Chain A
Amino acid sequence: MTFDRFGYRYPEAARAALADLSLELEAGSFTVVAGGSGSGKSTLLRACSGLVPHFHGGDAEGRLEVCGLSVRDNGPGELADACGTLFQDPETQVVMGGVQAEIALPLEQRGAGEAEVARAVEEVALTLGVADLLERRTESLSGGELQRVALAAALVHRPALLLLDEPTSQLDPVAGDELIWLLRRLNEEWGTAVVVAEHRLERCLAAADRVLVLEEGAVACDGSPREFLEWAAGSAAALMTPAARLFAHAGLRPLPASVKQARAALRVAGLVPEGADGGAAPRERTDSRYTGVSATSALRRRLGRRSRPALELRGVWHELRDGPAIMRGVDLRVEAGERVALLGRNGAGKSTLLRHAKGLLDPTRGRLETAGEVALLLQNPGDYLIHEHAGSEAGEAGLTNAGLAGRGAANPRDLSGGERQRLALEVVLSSEPPAVVCLDEPTRGMDRGWKAGLGERIAALAAGGAAVIVATHDTEFAAEFATRVVLLGKGTVIADGTPAEVLAGGWHFSTEVSRTLDGEAGALTPEQGARVLERELVSSGPGRPRRAEEAAR
């Protein structure tokens, strides 16, 4: 791809979405496009696929060539031969009822013969691991499966370039990680050039050759992952990965682009025990993290019995009429002012628990009590926004709390994902102060800046006396905001304790810093990790450097 002073402005937009871009992306490269919400990442990808300006309208200037085709003279149909495109929401990318028909459609549209279509579908299905899905109906697929099928449809004609706009934002972490590894394999084994816009950089930085950072439509940084991290440390800390922030806080250099690099650097510096690298199993611990309720949580529960809890579930079951039990005798007591992160894989019962708390579902067995009103924000904030003006949704005070003061006339559908999320939260909080606030996956598709703001809002609600329960897959966010973590597995509580007790040292339910430090001292966040590096490890053990700065040298 070649951008030569390329710029673009959406119809009726006040400012340009892309401004004066000049750069080249090589064939076979893996490029990550980073930047905050509204920085121009999606517009850049839409320009490369020809949707901008041909589909969206607006004014384009300068030159952009994709695989030798000028975007000015060729629309999405022509460019589709050279590049495959994948968007955020898998639901809107799948148009056929069956998986096989879906993957075959792009080739059939090109008039390919039956044998050619059959072979291409077979090959791409085996390559992307969707062969066992070929006979399935698309409505029966999970989000991760649907996204892989959409990827197969984008790749079936073997394009030289693959464009992906936050492809993991609607997926759970496991499905998101699988997708990124799939992209890496495509790039390494078949030489497909990949350009992916992502918020969660820790997921894809390890696979990238190059990182492009956009700010207000212009290139702010263009370099290798390590060069990007050095730039971010000085200019955009919100874009740094947790491991890089750990190193930056501890004064270590160079900043690592992956957990593997981080552990290797710490091992060389003598800052982690020998043998801890290479996927070592979590060390044995004396707490009850993997066997149920931790001692801290049990003590808290005993002390808490004297007061009325904000929310209490006693032996709550939820059994489907024609299916399995989603909740199996859940006992949970949440006190006022607690900030609880509810973790667990898809189908573990997180959302069902929150719906029970709100009263959208009734338990088939067991009892549930609340101290007052329950506010529930479901996964899709757009579902709450039904008026034509943001001001009609939450009033002036709500707009101010949502950081949207002065934007009451804006249509909620024109707001960014993070803005919609905050506005929807104010909608559910707009009456009497609730006793319990439940949020279901509130960080999906949000950048780190929005997440920090949400964490502050949650802290304020808890300080005001509300119990806040957040169902999330985002362990980094859970480590930042929660005072307690409850892990659900197959409808039962399988761990309940402080974030350090539950998250430190785990494999999946863990943070990047915890994985880097092998769960040492329960450090979960970069700040905690840096303190561990400075206090506990640096000062102990023969042959270890006295200070982290020495290790860096």
Chain B
Amino acid sequence: MSRARQVAAAAGVVPVFRPGSSALHAARAGVATAYCAAFALVAMLFTNPLIVGAVLCAIVAAGIAGGVGRELASTAKLAVPLALLVTLINPLVYREGDTLLVRGGEFLGRRMDITLEALAAGGLAGLRVLALALAFGLFSAVVDPDAVLRLFRRVSFRSALTASLATRLIPILARDATRMSDAARCRPEPPGRGAVARAALAGALERAIDVAAALEVRGYSRARRPARRRTAWSRHDLRVGLAALVIAAAAVAAAVGGVAAVEPYPRVEVALGPPELELAGAIVVAALAPLAIPGARLGVARA
């Protein structure tokens, strides 16, 4: 696969927002962002496989209920290899743990023993990476970047616009890369990957200059802080917002209370008692409640 096609394929794993009819799509950007951020918060606070697994289940179920299951699957194509990489690297870096699996030799004056505990810790870290990536994938697929831009514009207009531009340019640059790859195949002697990648980069810079000129003639240089928008809270805003609040509050309270502790070394110890089960259940139920209750989908007429 040529470099350009690899770039195009990589761009395809970042979901692009498309309007949908789910409660997540209908919720205001701030609320939907908080909902996705709540999942990320749990993944960052806990290593416990039960809790992280619950988050993964909740994200996947929310994605399917929100009609973006295919987008999440695309994200997983990048996230799963990354998670496996983390899993495999951890035992190479950490030698702690009582259960020796492989006795390696010396490398750069360091013993390369692999322990079960280090491998397990790597697996748990990989799981967290997967959960974080999928939470971001869900966010990209269901939250309108223009609305996010509007959220942050009052804080930092230029940074927000740059982020929005980057979001929009990803699929465009992916298309450019695919086109250049096809053009390279049309040359009598197809050029090397480096040459095509350089040309793609030059093309992106040229496009960036054109975009900058377009922004200038729209008055970008005189941009002012936009007026505040006041929008009434819809039932979807309230339900999704409440779910985000419940997940975040439960996670913080559990973390402060020492629930779902994990101690990988010297032997793996994972807390899997009733409090952990309750927390995992609460995360899944709270996450799916706004998507499962009657009237959660839009535009569906009553029979």
Q: Assuming the A-B contacts A77-B222, A96-B168, A135-B19, are A427 and B161 also in contact, with contact meaning beta carbons closer than 8 angstroms in the complex?
A: no
Pair B171/A139 contact, Cβ less than 8 Å:
yes
With A and B bound together, what is the CA distance between A383 and B19 in angstroms?
A: 32
Pair A89/B213 contact, Cβ less than 8 Å:
no
- 0 or 1 for each of A492-522: is its CB under 8 Å from B? (1 = yes): 0000000000000000000000000000000
Instruction: Verify if B207 is at the interface (C-beta below 8 Å from A).
Output: yes
Contacts of A529 in B (CB 8 A): none
Pair A428/B224 contact, Cβ less than 8 Å:
no
Pair B183/A112 contact, Cβ less than 8 Å:
no
List residues of A (16-72) whose CB comes within 8 Å of B's CBs: 49-51, 54-55
Point out the residue from A108, A386, A432 that lies within 8 Å of B191, measured CB to CB. A386
- 0 or 1 for each of A88-99: is its CB under 8 Å from B? (1 = yes): 010111111110
Pair A431/B189 contact, Cβ less than 8 Å:
yes
List residues of A (352-369) whose CB comes within 8 Å of B's CBs: 355, 358, 360
Instruction: Verify if A111 is at the interface (C-beta below 8 Å from B).
Output: yes
| In the complex, residue of chain B having the shortest beta-carbon distance to the beta carbon of A85 | B217
Instruction: Verify if B225 is at the interface (C-beta below 8 Å from A).
Output: yes
Q: Assuming the A-B contacts A97-B144, A110-B219, are A430 and B229 also in contact, with contact meaning beta carbons closer than 8 angstroms in the complex?
A: no
Which of B57-65, B91-99, B194-202, B255-263 makes up part of the contact surface? B194-202
Point out the residue from B168, B180, B188, B224 that lies within 8 Å of A110, measured CB to CB. B224
Instruction: Verify if B17 is at the interface (C-beta below 8 Å from A).
Output: yes
| In the complex, residue of chain A having the shortest beta-carbon distance to the beta carbon of B167 | A97
Contacts of B77 in A (CB 8 A): none
With A and B bound together, what is the CA distance between A111 and B161 in angstroms?
A: 15
Point out the residue from A84, A138, A360 that lies within 8 Å of B185, measured CB to CB. A360
List residues of A (85-142) whose CB comes within 8 Å of B's CBs: 85, 87, 89, 91-98, 100-101, 105-106, 108-114, 135, 137-140
Instruction: Verify if A533 is at the interface (C-beta below 8 Å from B).
Output: no
Contacts of A137 in B (CB 8 A): 16-19
Contacts of A150 in B (CB 8 A): 214
Contacts of A375 in B (CB 8 A): 186
Contacts of B19 in A (CB 8 A): 135, 137
Contacts of B210 in A (CB 8 A): 87, 89, 92-93
Pair A377/B186 contact, Cβ less than 8 Å:
yes
- 0 or 1 for each of B201-224: is its CB under 8 Å from A? (1 = yes): 011001100111111111111111
List residues of B (135-154) whose CB comes within 8 Å of A's CBs: 144-147, 149-150, 153
Instruction: Verify if A378 is at the interface (C-beta below 8 Å from B).
Output: yes
Pair B186/A109 contact, Cβ less than 8 Å:
no
Instruction: Verify if A376 is at the interface (C-beta below 8 Å from B).
Output: yes
Contacts of A387 in B (CB 8 A): 195
With A and B bound together, what is the CA distance between A376 and B184 in angstroms?
A: 11
Instruction: Verify if A145 is at the interface (C-beta below 8 Å from B).
Output: no
Contacts of A428 in B (CB 8 A): 186-188
List residues of A (367-395) whose CB comes within 8 Å of B's CBs: 375-378, 380, 382-387
| In the complex, residue of chain B having the shortest beta-carbon distance to the beta carbon of A392 | B195
Contacts of A49 in B (CB 8 A): 217
| In the complex, residue of chain A having the shortest beta-carbon distance to the beta carbon of B208 | A92
Contacts of B230 in A (CB 8 A): 114
Pair B164/A96 contact, Cβ less than 8 Å:
yes
Contacts of A380 in B (CB 8 A): 179, 183
Contacts of B16 in A (CB 8 A): 137, 139
Instruction: Verify if A153 is at the interface (C-beta below 8 Å from B).
Output: yes
Instruction: Verify if B268 is at the interface (C-beta below 8 Å from A).
Output: no
Instruction: Verify if A78 is at the interface (C-beta below 8 Å from B).
Output: yes
Q: Assuming the A-B contacts A114-B229, A430-B188, A431-B188, are A92 and B216 also in contact, with contact meaning beta carbons closer than 8 angstroms in the complex?
A: no
Pair A384/B183 contact, Cβ less than 8 Å:
yes
With A and B bound together, what is the CA distance between A382 and B205 in angstroms?
A: 13
| In the complex, residue of chain A having the shortest beta-carbon distance to the beta carbon of B18 | A137
Pair A95/B227 contact, Cβ less than 8 Å:
no
Pair A95/B211 contact, Cβ less than 8 Å:
yes
| Most chain B beta carbons < 10 A, residue from A92, A385, A432 | A92
With A and B bound together, what is the CA distance between A466 and B102 in angstroms?
A: 66
Contacts of A315 in B (CB 8 A): none
Point out the residue from A76, A101, A112 that lies within 8 Å of B217, measured CB to CB. A76
Instruction: Verify if A80 is at the interface (C-beta below 8 Å from B).
Output: yes
Instruction: Verify if A215 is at the interface (C-beta below 8 Å from B).
Output: no
- 0 or 1 for each of B102-113: is its CB under 8 Å from A? (1 = yes): 000000000000
Instruction: Verify if B274 is at the interface (C-beta below 8 Å from A).
Output: no
With A and B bound together, what is the CA distance between A123 and B186 in angstroms?
A: 47
Instruction: Verify if A413 is at the interface (C-beta below 8 Å from B).
Output: yes
Contacts of B207 in A (CB 8 A): 91-92
Instruction: Verify if B289 is at the interface (C-beta below 8 Å from A).
Output: no
Contacts of B149 in A (CB 8 A): 96, 101
Instruction: Verify if A292 is at the interface (C-beta below 8 Å from B).
Output: no
Instruction: Verify if A191 is at the interface (C-beta below 8 Å from B).
Output: no
With A and B bound together, what is the CA distance between A85 and B210 in angstroms?
A: 13
| Most chain B beta carbons < 10 A, residue from A98, A140, A358 | A98
Least CB distance, A26 to chain B, in whole angstroms: 22
With A and B bound together, what is the CA distance between A404 and B203 in angstroms?
A: 22
Instruction: Verify if A309 is at the interface (C-beta below 8 Å from B).
Output: no
Pair B186/A384 contact, Cβ less than 8 Å:
yes
Pair A111/B221 contact, Cβ less than 8 Å:
no
With A and B bound together, what is the CA distance between A47 and B206 in angstroms?
A: 20
Contacts of A50 in B (CB 8 A): 216-217
List residues of A (137-179) whose CB comes within 8 Å of B's CBs: 137-140, 150, 153-154
- 10 sample A-B contacts, Cβ–Cβ < 8 Å, listed by A number: A75-B221, A80-B217, A98-B144, A110-B222, A360-B182, A360-B185, A377-B186, A383-B203, A384-B187, A387-B195
19 new A-B contacts, CB < 8 A, other than A92-B211, A413-B206, are A54-B216, A77-B220, A85-B217, A91-B207, A92-B207, A95-B165, A97-B144, A97-B145, A110-B222, A112-B227, A114-B227, A114-B229, A114-B230, A139-B16, A378-B179, A378-B182, A384-B187, A386-B195, A431-B189
Please list the residues of chain A having a beta carbon within 8 angstroms of any beta carbon in chain B. Answer: 49-51, 54-55, 75-81, 84-85, 87, 89, 91-98, 100-101, 105-106, 108-114, 135, 137-140, 150, 153-154, 355, 358, 360, 375-378, 380, 382-387, 413, 427-428, 430-432
Report the 8 A-B pairs with minimum CB-CB distance, sorted nearest first: A431-B188, A101-B146, A77-B221, A386-B199, A383-B183, A92-B210, A80-B219, A77-B222
